[in-house]
């Protein structure tokens, strides 16, 4: 099987790495790819958001399967273009990708499916903002209704901060979603979905804020770990049965069945799981940790999902132990990152590239905010943390920063539900 992966981040590097371990995969291609991916796959400078360009490349490399990593191409309908060309594609249609592309659409689907989520209200007129804010609090959750790469969310007890963020979004012409605050630890559950067939992967926990102790602004994700020693298997079963299956069934009923990876972000409160958000693709950085433990051939799972035969494939098998991913970020991230700094140590096993480039002299340099994802594995979570941070200690990036507490609360048994 020849596979074309679309995207350029550490998530795509993790997918390419997993595909390289699958003996049934005979060719791996990536567009546009990155410096690390180019060591495992042939890369092409193609616009990932152009259905025509992706289809042309898929035909050129004679791909049997196209795997679309990022959300923007999915929301723009690239998967539709690939399928229309008669090529199997892992990733939802544009109609189904609205589960991430429009939070209002996602809320409507959840309401119809009877899925627990936060109370919400859309504000699209600045004149209505203050009255709407008065109906929320004392902790305000303010979101961009569209795609925001994980950084369009402000959670604050300061009404003025909430108002300023909402006003800024409205000024840019973006509708604002106000939500009630969901208490409890958060869980990311990836589920392969083929219509009404759903197959869960390992649950993970992301660390969104930039600083230790969950301080500072939200980011695209500073690290993650899997599995979750504090999360009972019964809760995972409840998420699948009470959240994912009803949503998948509702999408089928609406004529936009989901095919691909449905990412459920949930808060586990006293009343059980409640949905914070849905994404229509593998999440970053959780993917880097989850795929590090996958023992089954990933090509078979992705191809079966793409071709409507997921119900005939054996459930995924996992390596024993745990995995931790820590993101090494550029100076000033999540603000405007400093770029062009030389990186040393990025060739280590378990180091996945995201915001990197390679100069003519061969030096690897920073080229984005989240520069590298460093993956550690171990017999348990503590061992996986040690492995990840040992690798980080061997990597040098001027001005680079990372959190030192990824997975630490779970190791210290401080997470309770």
The pLDDT tens digits for 208-255 are: 999 999 999 889 999 999 999 999 999 999 999 999 999 999 999 999
Q: Which residue has the tokens 């941070």?
A: 389
Architecture of the domain whose range is 120-179: 2-Layer Sandwich (3.30)
**Mean pLDDT over each residue of the chain, to the nearest integer:** 95
How much is the average pLDDT of 137-150?
Answer: 79
Q: According to CATH, where is 3.40.50.20 located in the chain?
A: 2-95
- The residues, ordered by sequence, that sit 6+ positions from 16 with a Cβ below 8 Å of its Cβ are 5, 28, 30, 37, 40, 41
So what's the pLDDT on residue 183? 87
Residue 101 has pLDDT above 80, yes or no: yes
| Cβ-contact 55, 85 below 8 angstroms | yes
How much is the average pLDDT of 183-204?
Answer: 97
Architecture of the domain whose range is 2-95: 3-Layer(aba) Sandwich (3.40)
Pairing of strands 2-7, 27-32: parallel
pLDDT of 307-333, one tens digit each?
A: 999 999 999 999 999 999 999 999 999
User: Dihedral of CA 406/368/330/170: which sign?
Assistant: negative
pTM of the model: 0.91
pLDDT of 244-280, one tens digit each?
A: 999 999 999 999 999 999 999 999 998 889 999 999 9
Residue 294 has pLDDT above 90, yes or no: yes
Q: According to CATH, where is 3.30.470.20 located in the chain?
A: 184-312
Give residue 97's pLDDT band: very low, low, confident or very high (50, 70, 90): very high
Q: Where are the alpha helices (DSSP H) in 182-282?
A: 233-239, 245-253
So what's the pLDDT on residue 120? 86
Architecture of the domain whose range is 184-312: 2-Layer Sandwich (3.30)
- What is the rounded distance in angstroms from the CA atom of residue 154 to the CA atom of residue 142? 5
The CATH T-level fold of domain 322-411 is 3.90.600
């Amino acid at each position: 099987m020849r596979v074309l992966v679309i995207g350029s981040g550490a998530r795509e590097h993790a997918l390419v790495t997993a595909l390289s371990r699958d003996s049934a995969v005979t060719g791996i291609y990536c567009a546009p790819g990155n410096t690390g991916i180019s060591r495992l796959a042939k890369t092409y400078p193609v616009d990932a958001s152009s259905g025509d360009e992706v289809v042309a490349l898929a035909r050129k490399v004679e791909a049997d399967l196209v795997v679309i990593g990022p959300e923007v191409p999915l929301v723009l309908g690239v998967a539709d273009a690939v399928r229309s060309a008669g090529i199997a594609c892992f990733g939802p249609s544009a109609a189904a990708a609205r589960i991430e592309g429009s939070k209002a659409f996602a809320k409507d689907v959840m309401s119809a499916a009877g899925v627990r989520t936060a109370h919400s209200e859309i504000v699209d007129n600045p004149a209505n903002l203050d009255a709407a804010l008065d109906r929320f609090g004392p902790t305000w959750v303010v979101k961009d209704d569209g795609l925001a790469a994980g950084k369009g969310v402000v959670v604050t007890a300061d009404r003025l901060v909430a108002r300023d963020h909402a006003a800024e979004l409205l000024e840019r012409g973006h509708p604002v979603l106000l939500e009630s605050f969901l208490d409890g630890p958060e869980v990311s559950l990836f589920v392969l979905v083929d219509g009404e067939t759903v197959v869960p992967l390992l649950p993970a926990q992301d660390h969104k804020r930039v600083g230790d102790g969950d301080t500072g602004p939200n980011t695209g994700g500073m690290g993650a770990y899997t599995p979750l020693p504090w999360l009972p298997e019964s809760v995972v079963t409840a998420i699948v049965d009470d959240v994912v299956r009803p949503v998948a069934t509702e999408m089928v009923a609406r004529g936009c069945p989901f095919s691909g990876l449905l990412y459920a972000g949930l808060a586990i409160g006293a009343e059980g799981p409640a949905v914070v958000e849905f994404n229509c693709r593998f999440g970053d950085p959780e993917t880097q940790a989850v795929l590090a433990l996958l023992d089954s051939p990933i090509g078979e799972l992705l191809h079966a999902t793409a071709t409507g035969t997921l119900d005939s494939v054996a459930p995924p098998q996992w390596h024993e132990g745990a995995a931790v991913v820590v993101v090494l970020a550029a100076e000033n991230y999540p603000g405007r990152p400093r770029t062009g700094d030389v990186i040393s140590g990025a060739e280590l096993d378990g180091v996945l590239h995201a915001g990197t480039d390679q100069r003519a002299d061969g030096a690897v340099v920073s080229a984005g905010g989240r520069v590298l994802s460093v993956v550690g594995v171990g017999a348990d979570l503590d061992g996986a943390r040690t492995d990840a941070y040992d690798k980080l200690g061997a990597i040098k990036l001027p001005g680079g920063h990372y959190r030192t507490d990824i997975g630490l609360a779970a190791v210290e048994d401080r997470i309770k539900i």
